[in-house]
Amino acid sequence: MSAEIDPTKLSKNELLKQRIPTLAGNIAATLADPALDKFSEDDEQFIKFHGIYQQDDRDLRKTGKKYIVMIRGRIPGGVMTSNQWKVFDDLASTHGNNTLRITTRQSIQFHGVVKSGLGSLIKKINESLLSTLAACGDVNRNITVSPTPIYTKARAEVFADSLRVMDALAPTTPAYHSIWVDNVQLNLDDPVNTGFVDPLYGQTYLPRKFKVSFVTPPSNDMDVFTNDLGFIAVTEGDRLVGYNLAVGGGLGRSHGNVQTYPRLADVLGYFPREKLIEVAKAVLTIHRDFGDRTNRKHARLKYVVQERGVEWVREEINRRAGLTIAPVVPFKFTSTGDTYGWNRALDGSNFLTLFVQTGRIKDVEGHQMKTALRQVAEKFPHFEFRLSGNQNVIIANIPEADRAALTALLAANGVKTENQASVLHAASMACPSMPTCGLGLAESERALPGLINRIEKLAVEIGVAGEEIIIRSTGCPNGCARPYMAEIGFVGKAPGKYQLWLGGDVSGTRLNQVFKETIKEADLEIELRPLLTRWKAERTTGERFGDFATRVLLPEAIAAAAAVAAAKPATPPTS
Ligand code: SRM
Ligand code: SF4
């Protein structure tokens, strides 16, 4: 059973997928033509499935458009060997803008790559045994799972399950290999293309992106409720027995369009581990069959869940997966952040979590993060690099004997292992926005560190210095750095202007709300001083800013807005 669709109403992307179900587009032909500096409009959509976005450097727009591409890796569980790190580091230097961008979904993005370097970059990623296929596009994306090395057996099992689901939900198009490994343009009239049907996705894939995450309570380090599909591990003793199933999360919205909104996933109940793949496929195919293929702003699974209702979704999953979802097994989350510094894994090895400001690995005067990590990968081939969903990096598999040498190497490059950042910086995230993201309305990655420095000064003035507040910013309402889960969220509206969202919680279980439609960056202190001052004066013992905002500031703001609306004279009826 699937939703009836009027074919005349299908979105343009649906028609493209119908026409070229292998997703080959004319990508290989364009790559082979040195006269072309960019992909066609249609191919812009196809390259996404291959992990690539066509962009232009927005800093250079006034002097002429320079086309570049962003490439996102498919890095299962965010785990890389030292050798893979070296490959990525080399490629960032030789083909990109000499930075590596750790993403909020445990991947790495290259920015600033020009078309002529794209083919060799992706070939080298594949030679390193990683990929870019399905890092973007209307398919299941990089599945996120706790990046910390295994410190319980259950977590090892959860990690293994995440890889199984990633495999089970991977698209099977032959075009990826053909373009990026063999450099061959598929003949689009050939039945290899026209007759291609992916066993899971069919010919038209999903109506929109699909995101999956695994977490093990009490840590919600992957913000599980913001995913289309979330698996919350249920353990007995130190073994994994099954999962609480969360369905229908997503954050994307558009300014001024109330039909779009952030939504947290509903927890439907428990199912045993043996049914994992069936459940994952059931949820994905519900999106495939019922997602809105006429309007991409309304196409995520969250709208299916919201509009058809949780009971309908539960029944559909039960039927498709051949099970009966049991009542929720109680669980509790206590944090979403990473634990910085040194820790120990189950096998006795050490791991070290390093703070990466806004996820950007680069060299700056006095803080040579990129060089440091490169040297680590060269000197310690047995180490692992693990990317966190909070845009940080974990160096893992560190024998006790290597600890001192590693610490010295990092210190020589200005990278600390203890007290790496102030509490506010350490708990912050920002999306890239300018100059690469075509959708950015305001600065984000380049602005947030400065905004936090100013908030820190304010915190000293008010007497709340050293208190953690989760602060996230994005350059537009799409929500890439999950600002709607933050205690303070800055959501870009226009250059130098942000919507102010308040009220997320420390465990990632509550959406925040708009507190003020627009604030000017220049007025940051004027806007935040009264709020932080009231928090200091009126908070209950230990109450966090997000909880205070939810208890006091937001209800007051909502009541004030309602009073203003009620005081307005009613619009006279038009005759
Ligand atoms: Fe995102 C689009 C960057 C995580 C919601 N996202 C984009 C694009 C590709 C812009 C575009 O379509 O042209 C951005 C590329 C900017 C650049 O220059 O690099 C972009 N998104 C990112 C990353 C790099 C942000 C980061 O700070 O790390 C993250 C890459 C994750 C990855 O490795 O796969 C990233 N994006 C997210 C998240 C957070 C998450 O998944 O945990 C969200 C909110 C959750 C969700 O999906 O609802 C998110 N990105 C979006 C949306 C809104 C989707 C929607 O349902 O409306 C868009 C716009 C779109 O798809 O049309 C978008
Ligand atoms: Fe771009 Fe908006 Fe995502 Fe930021 S939130 S990366 S501006 S799409």
Q: Kindly report, residue by residue over 14-71, the tens digit of the pLDDT.
A: 999 999 999 999 999 999 999 999 999 999 999 999 999 999 999 999 888 889 999 9
Residue 254 has pLDDT above 80, yes or no: yes
Q: Are residues 371 and 314 in the same domain?
A: no
Pair 228, 330 in one domain: yes
Q: Is 141 a catalytic residue?
A: yes
Q: 55, exposed or middle or buried, with CB in 10 Å at 0-12, 13-18, 19+?
A: buried
The confidence score (pLDDT) of residue 341 equals 97
476-500 burial: b if 16+ Cβ within 10 Å, else e: bbbbbbbbbbbbbbbbbbeeebbbb
Question: Are 157 and 289 contained in the same domain?
Answer: yes
Phi, psi for residue 104 in degrees, rounded to 5: -75, -5
When pLDDT is cut at 50, 70 and 90, the band that residue 148 belongs to is confident
Residue-wise pLDDT for 298-357, tens only, equals 999 999 999 999 999 999 999 999 999 999 999 999 999 999 999 998 889 999 999 999
- Report whether 30 contacts 36 (CB < 8 A): yes
What is the pLDDT, as a whole number, of residue 377? Answer: 98
Q: Which of these three, 424, 453, 481, is where a domain ends?
A: 424
Residues of the domain holding 537: 440-566
- 242 inside domain: yes
Cα(459) to centroid of ligand 1, in Å?
Answer: 31
Identity of the amino acid at 372 = A
Q: What percent of the chain has pLDDT over 70?
A: 98
Q: Residue 388: CB within 6 Å of ligand 2?
A: no
Helix (H) or strand (E) holding 369: helix 369-379
End-to-end CA distance of the chain: 48
Q: Look at 164 and 237; give whichever has higher pLDDT.
A: 164
Same domain membership, residue 483 and residue 452 = yes
What is residue 536's three-state secondary structure?
Answer: helix
pLDDT mean over 423-427:
98
Phi, psi of 563 (to 5 degrees): -65, -40
Ligand 1 closest atom vs CA 141? 34
Do residues 239 and 158 share a domain? yes
Q: Which amino acid is present at 436?
A: T
Report the alpha-carbon distance of residue 259 to residue 292 in Å, rounded: 13
Which tens digit of pLDDT belongs to each residue from 87-100? 999 999 999 999 99
Residue 10 lies inside a defined structural domain of this protein: no
Q: b vs e for 140-167, b when ≥16 Cβ sit within 10 Å of the residue's Cβ?
A: bbbbbbbbbbbebebbbbbbebbeebbe
Q: What is the DSSP letter of 69?
A: E
At 312, list the tokens.
Answer: 């309908």
pLDDT score for 9: 93
Asked if residue 573 has pLDDT above 70, the reply is no
322 and 246, same structural domain?
Answer: yes
Q: What is the pLDDT of residues 437-494, one digit of tens each?
A: 999 999 999 999 999 999 999 999 999 999 999 999 999 999 999 999 999 999 999 9
Kindly report the CATH number assigned to the domain that includes residue 544: 3.30.413.10
Say how many domains are in the chain: 3
Helix (H) or strand (E) holding 271: strand 266-272
Exposure string of 419-441, with b = 16+ CB inside 10 Å and e = fewer, is ebbbebbbbbbbbbbbbbbeebb
**pLDDT attached to residue 308:** 98
Could you tell me which residues come within 8 angstroms of residue 296 by beta carbon, excluding any fewer than 6 positions away? 11, 13, 207, 208
For the CA of 479, the closest atom of ligand 2 is 5
State residue 347's pLDDT score. 86
Q: Give the pLDDT confidence score for residue 238 in this predicted structure.
A: 87
CA distances to 48, 180, 203, 263, 286 from 295, in Å:
18, 31, 18, 18, 17
Which residues have CB under 8 Å from 37's CB, separation 6+? 67, 114, 115
* Domain annotation covers residue 26: no
CA separation (Å) from 109 to 73, 103, 112, 361, 430? Answer: 6, 7, 10, 11, 14
Are residue 154 and residue 289 in the same domain, yes or no?
A: yes
Packed helices 310-321 and 301-308: angle between N→C axes, nearest 10 degrees: 110
Confirm whether 417 is domain-assigned: yes
DSSP letter for 480, please.
T
Structure-token pair, residue 476: 């537009």
Beta strands in 357-496 (DSSP E): 360-361, 363-364, 367-368, 384-387, 393-398, 428-430, 471-474, 488-494
Measured CA to CA, the distance from residue 101 to residue 92 in angstroms comes to: 10
pTM of structure = 0.97
409 and 356 housed in the same domain: yes
Q: Are residues 210 and 228 in the same domain?
A: yes
Position 574 scores a pLDDT of 57
User: Is 328 in the same domain as 347?
Assistant: no
Query: Domain boundary at 290, 309, 336, which?
Result: 336
Distance, CA 254 to ligand 2 centroid (Å)?
A: 11
Shared domain check, 517 and 463: yes
The CB of 431 under 6 Å from ligand 2? The reply is yes
Residues at CB less than 6 angstroms from ligand 1: 53, 70, 72, 103-105, 107, 109, 141-142, 211, 223, 226, 250-252, 300, 359, 431-432, 436-439, 478-482
pLDDT of 511-538, one tens digit each?
999 999 999 999 999 999 999 999 999 9
Reply yes or no on whether the pLDDT at 575 is more than 70. Answer: no
**Could you tell me if residue 349 is inside a domain?**
yes
Cα separation, 31 vs 274, in Å, equals: 44
Q: What is the CATH number of the domain that holds 419?
A: 3.90.480.10
CA of 197 to the centre of ligand 2 (A): 32
Confidence band for 151, pLDDT divided at 50, 70 and 90: confident
Substitution site in 251, 255, 480 for ligand 2 pocket (most atoms within 8 Å of beta carbon): 480
Asked about 72 being catalytic, the answer comes back as: yes
Q: What is the pLDDT of residues 343-380, one digit of tens each?
A: 998 889 999 999 999 999 999 999 999 999 999 999 99
3-state secondary structure of 322: coil
18 — alpha (psi -120 to 50), left (phi > 0) or beta? alpha
Would 179 be classed as within a structural domain? Answer: no
Instruction: Examine residue 55 and state whether it is found in any structural domain, yes or no.
Output: no
Ligand 2 atom with the smallest distance to the CA of 442 is 7
Q: Are residues 306 and 454 in the same domain?
A: no
Pick from 313, 336, 359: which residue ends a domain? 336
Verify whether ligand 2 is closer than 6 Å to residue 440 (CB atom). Answer: yes
Phi, psi of 8 (to 5 degrees): -75, -15
Per-residue pLDDT for 13 more than 50? yes
Percent of the chain with pLDDT over 90: 93
Question: Is 435 within a domain?
Answer: no
Peptide bond into 435 cis (omega under 30): yes
